[in-house]
Structure 1
Amino acid sequence: MRITVYLLLLASVALAMLGPQLGRRLAPAAAVRALTLLSLVATAALVWGLTAVTVGGLGRTDAFQDQAHSSPAALASDDPVPGALGALAAGLLAVSMVRALTVTRRRWSALRALAPLRQQPAAGDLVVIEAEGPDAYALPGRSRRVVVTSAMLRALPADEQAVLLAHERAHLLHRHHRYAAVAETTAACNPLLRPVRDLITFHIERWADEEAARATGSRLLAARSLARAALAMADATRAHEPQGALAYLRHKVTARVGALQAERPTSHWVALSPALAVTALTGLAFAEVTWDFARCLHALRLF
């Protein structure tokens, strides 16, 4: 493998570092989409780079040579990756895959555990459950539901209830659970993306806040509803919040209330320039590594 494979690995680091800038300069909906794409590109670069180094390094071991019947001279020419580096890459790749699978299975299990809520009587997509703790969350899937506790409805007047319901329905309408799942999985693969995951989570809630403000026609009303719901939750025993659901009061409520009291955010698209440049270079590196990887497999007589 040439030096390009290491540049591919560095690209995943560079993309992760660009996340905070995008989060600051883009409106919530644009930020979620851009950060999710950035996470996918960074993770693909990391996984493919580690895969190439793994095959290149371990392919030179005696055990693999005996099985592959490859030409050591041809392999040494096409693949200068040290065996120790290949073993390290294999370990990192295995850890990343196990972590990603663990996160995916945990999310699926959490959503399956919510199945009984989908069977409860509903007014359209709204399910009200009796609970002492004020809470509200959106359940994605084929039978989409907005779940609100009776305590939450008692805590909010009618106009602020409308904000809450608009917020949760925005989660369902724009399929925010998919962005959240990508953020969780990519961060599991690449720990450098954890800050990006947190940004995506925050901007998902901001996106739903902005949709609720637009639907009800008042940003101040949306801010008041969020603040009152947070105070009600602080004064009561919180209901159990199921994993895998997007909840009204999950993330940085104070910052979200402040954002709703300001003007509606706009996107500064010039902020995308560095990310687009790094993504383009990553694509070129990806193509070259794929070509070198194919040559390595040919030297190993596996392709």
Structure 2
Amino acid sequence: MHISVYLLLLASAALAVLGARLAGHLAPAAVVRTLTGLSVIATAAMAWGLTALTVGGLGRTDAFQDRAHSNPVALASDDPVPVVLGVLAAGLLAGGLLRTFTVVRRRRAALRALAPLRKLPAAGDLVVVEAARPDAYALPGRPERIVVTTAMLRALPGGEHAVLLAHERAHLLHRHHLYAAVAEATAACNPLLRPVRDHIAFHIERWADEEAAHMTGSRPLTARSLARAALAVADAAPCGPQAALAYLAHKVTARVGALRAERPTSHWAVALPAAVVTALTSLASAEVTYDLARCLHVLHLS
């Protein structure tokens, strides 16, 4: 492979860094959508680059040469990837795919474990569960449910119940569980994206907070509801299931502070570097695809 394959891997790392920097300059909904898209592009670039290096490197091994009957000299001149680099790329690619499979399997198992909650009596989409601990979370799927414990309802005044329900309904309306799942999967495949995954998770909650503030017409009320719910559980972690989107799952103090400020807006000029890198990634991907096709031609026809 030529230098384009290494640029493709470098672009993946650059998108991870640039994506994380966008979080402070865009509105929550824009952050989630933009970072999710960049995560997919970065992961695809990394996987395609590693695939090309794997084919180029392992294609020069004696075992493959015996099967392919290709010309090692022609292959070496056309695609000078060291065997050791091919082995390393194969290991990284396999490890990433295995981690992704594990994350997806765990999320699906967690959602299946919540299936009994869908069968409980509901008032519309609301299921109230008797529990001594305050908690609330959105449960995606069919049928969609908002699960709230009796302790949470007792912890909040009646006027603040509307904030809680609006927050959780925003999760369901905007399919936030899909963004969260993509963020988890891409970070599992590409560990460089773990900071981006954390930004997505936080801004998913910020997105729902802003939707709740809009629906109730009061940012101060939304901030008070969130702060009161956090105080109700003291310093212990909320008990919401892993696959659900819990009301108190991410950085409550920062979220309350954001709600006390003005509604955020997006400044898209800061996204220009990420857009440039994305365009260059597309060009590098096209060249790597051409190089890979030529490599496969040499392997089979020389």
Report TM bin, short chain: over 0.9
The alpha-carbon deviation at position 239 of structure 1 amounts to 6.3
Distance 1:302 1:89 in 2: 24
SS at match of 1:300: helix
The residue aligned with 2:251 is: 252
Query: 1:100-145: CA deviations, max 9, x gaps?
Result: 0000000000000000000100000000000000000000012100
The alpha-carbon deviation at position 77 of structure 1 amounts to 2.0
Distance 2:265 2:88 in 1: 44
Distance 1:32 1:299 in 2: 43
Does residue 1:80 correspond to 2:80, yes or no?
yes
Distance 1:32 1:302 in 2: 46
The residue aligned with 1:120 is: 120
SS at match of 1:162: helix
Contact 1:133–1:238 (Cα < 8 Å) also in 2? no
Counterpart amino acid of residue 184 in structure 2:
E
Relative distance call for 1:239 and 1:53 in structure 2 (3 A) is closer
Does residue 1:281 correspond to 2:280, yes or no?
yes
Q: TM-score, normalised by structure 2?
A: 0.98
Does residue 1:158 correspond to 2:158, yes or no?
yes
Contact 2:238–2:249 (Cα < 8 Å) also in 1? no
The residue aligned with 1:134 is: 134
Query: 1:215-264: CA deviations, max 9, x gaps?
Result: 000000000000000000117x7663211000000000000000000000
The residue aligned with 1:293 is: 292
Distance 1:90 1:174 in 2: 37
SS at match of 2:52: helix
Counterpart amino acid of residue 199 in structure 2:
L
SS at match of 2:110: helix
The alpha-carbon deviation at position 13 of structure 1 amounts to 0.5
Contact 1:134–1:238 (Cα < 8 Å) also in 2? no
1:1-303 to 2 correspondence within 5 Å? 1-234=1-234, 240-301=239-300
Distance 1:264 1:218 in 2: 11
The alpha-carbon deviation at position 86 of structure 1 amounts to 0.3
Counterpart amino acid of residue 199 in structure 1:
H
How many residues align? The count is 302
SS at match of 2:222: helix
Counterpart amino acid of residue 164 in structure 2:
L
Relative distance call for 1:238 and 1:250 in structure 2 (3 A) is closer
Relative distance call for 1:6 and 1:173 in structure 2 (3 A) is same
Counterpart amino acid of residue 22 in structure 1:
L
- Structure 2 gap segments, 5+ residues each: none
4+ runs deviating over 3 angstroms:
237-240
Distance 1:240 1:269 in 2: 37
Distance 2:74 2:237 in 1: 65
Q: TM-score, normalised by structure 1?
A: 0.98
The alpha-carbon deviation at position 74 of structure 1 amounts to 2.2
Indicate the percent of aligned positions where both proteins have the same amino acid: 75
The alpha-carbon deviation at position 98 of structure 1 amounts to 0.4
Distance 1:175 1:204 in 2: 10
SS at match of 2:233: helix
Relative distance call for 1:85 and 1:287 in structure 2 (3 A) is same
Counterpart amino acid of residue 174 in structure 2:
H
Contact 1:160–1:221 (Cα < 8 Å) also in 2? yes
SS at match of 1:133: coil
The alpha-carbon deviation at position 158 of structure 1 amounts to 1.2
Distance 2:4 2:37 in 1: 22
Deviates more, 1:73-82 or 1:169-178: 73-82
Counterpart amino acid of residue 177 in structure 1:
H
Distance 1:256 1:159 in 2: 19
Contact 1:15–1:275 (Cα < 8 Å) also in 2? yes
Note the aligned Cα RMSD (angstroms).
Answer: 1.3
